[in-house]
Amino acid sequence: MTAAREQIHRLAERLAVEEYGGEIVVEPIPGYQMLTRRRLVDPLPGVRAARTLANAARGLLVEQARDARAAGRSWDEIGEALGLPNGAADEVRAEVAFAEVVEGRRAEPAWRSFEAPSTYWRCGCCGELVTDYGTGSSSHPDDQETGHGETCARHGASLTKWRTDTGWSD
């Protein structure tokens, strides 16, 4: 982790504890005798803290871009500082920078993946690595998450709730 990212991580952790009532636990990393990791007991205060930081960073980006324009910098130079390539998504870098900073929209990628967007996490119940596709495509738990163990109580409870809510039985 870079030094800047580490500082942001620590700031988010501090916000989660001080502003949102989070609690930190230090636990051993499975498979290692001497290594530990810090984490929030309940991750939701961390989500709130991360959103607070994202909103603050967004405001700071707009403020700094205004200051850069006031200092005579071009939108192309601002785009370069943002790490935007020239010609991203068939637009010149200056247009993409303006759209991102002023309009709050990111340039669309030049190509789209055929795979559904997903994330992954380790299930706290079964310990398996789960791929999470979100709730957009289907309400069935097997369409939203894959990878749970066959006897996972968490996934089993999701299936039971789905069957009760929909009246269906797979």
pLDDT at 108 over 80: no
The pTM of this model reads 0.71
> How many other CB atoms are found less than 10 A from the CB of residue 112?
7
pLDDT tens sequence across 44-61: 999 999 999 999 999 999
Q: What is the pLDDT of residue 33?
A: 84
pLDDT at 110 over 60: no
The enclosing H or E element of 161 equals helix 153-166
Q: What is the pLDDT of residue 159?
A: 92
Higher pLDDT, 170 or 162: 162
Compute and round to an integer the Cα radius of gyration of the chain.
22
Residues 134-149: b if buried by 16+ CB within 10 A, e if exposed: eeeeeeebeebbbbbe
pLDDT at 89 over 70: no
Degrees, nearest 5: CA angle 80-85-87: 120
Q: What is the pLDDT of residue 134?
A: 81
Listed ranges 5-14, 94-103, 124-133; the one with the highest mean pLDDT:
5-14
- Give the position of tokens 């797979």: 170
